[in-house]
Amino acid sequence: MQKYIAYQGEPGANSEAAIEQYFGSDAEALPCQRFSDVFEAVVVGSAVYGMVPIENSITGSIAENLDLLRKHNLYITGETVLQIQHHLLGLAGTVIDDIAEVHSHPQGLLQCRSFLDVHSNIRPIAAEDTAGAARQVAEWKIPERAAIANASAGVRYGLEVICPDIGDRHDNFTRFIVLSSQLSDVDKADKVSMVFEVEHRPAALYDALGVFAEGKINLTKIESRPIPEKAFNYWFYVECEGLFYRNTRKRLEADLRAQLQHLKILGWYCSEKHVAKKEQKHQIPSIK
């Protein structure tokens, strides 16, 4: 059966939960080992969409995915926000004193720093993803090894919750974006994402940001990333909120291009809060 939506990780990963939350439980998913593999799957057409995390409310942006957005000719067609809960998972009958090492994605380990500081005898070990760590612990069958992952990964791989909800904060959310090879043509969007470069001169960024100020457009995110081929030069990832009708987008884009050295619109789309009002899942087109 043809797979439709690519994600990084293994079954039970948070990215798979984001797919279900956005598209519904019937969505066909394609697990990939790396984030770059997700982008490549959409580029070559083995998946219609990709689902990748772009930002965590505690640890900030996923820099690798910002860089991949600039590198690939893909677009953002939507977003979804997933509440993250980390649990300490282990073999049946395992107690906290049995554990010598814990495996998880680096983000999972970072988001459970307080728990790991208290239990300093447990050695944290980075894994490709949280669900993959849970699967490995189940396969190893060694009581001294545990994983940090979500509850569904524990159920899927037959692990027990040794310590529930061990994250540093309970208000832990990750925002995921939906990748597509096509730029969305939704008539009324309330969010736009873009990447751009400015000239290396005084006030170049100020002039570019002035376009948003004059248009009364709310910037919700701006982040600089290094340009590898231009030492100590930077490009910017920007997100804005507003009402972007199809017939008004050209003016904004033209005004920006007049100020910028390079501009790529990553997508005009509906934000999480706008989609939540509609209370509907997104349809998946067929692959021909």
- Residues involved in catalysis: 174, 176
Determine how β-strand 49-56 pairs with β-strand 5-8.
parallel
> How far apart are the C-alpha atoms of 183 and 31, rounded to whole Å?
24
* DSSP β-bridge partners for residue 192: 240, 268
Q: Give the residue from 87, 111, 108 showing the smallest Cα distance to 162.
A: 87
Count Cα neighbours of 274 within 13 Å in the Cβ-side half-sphere. 15
> How far apart are the C-alpha atoms of 128 and 15, rounded to whole Å?
13
Q: Classify residue 101 by burial, with Cβ atoms within 10 Å: 0-12, 13-18, 19+.
A: middle
8 Å CB contact between 66 and 225 = yes
> How far apart are the C-alpha atoms of 29 and 238, rounded to whole Å?
29
Place of tokens 């997933």: 82
8 Å CB contact between 56 and 221 = no
Dihedral sign for Cα 169, 275, 51, 74, please.
negative
Angle between helices 35-44 and 63-71 (to 10 degrees): 30
8 Å CB contact between 60 and 223 = no
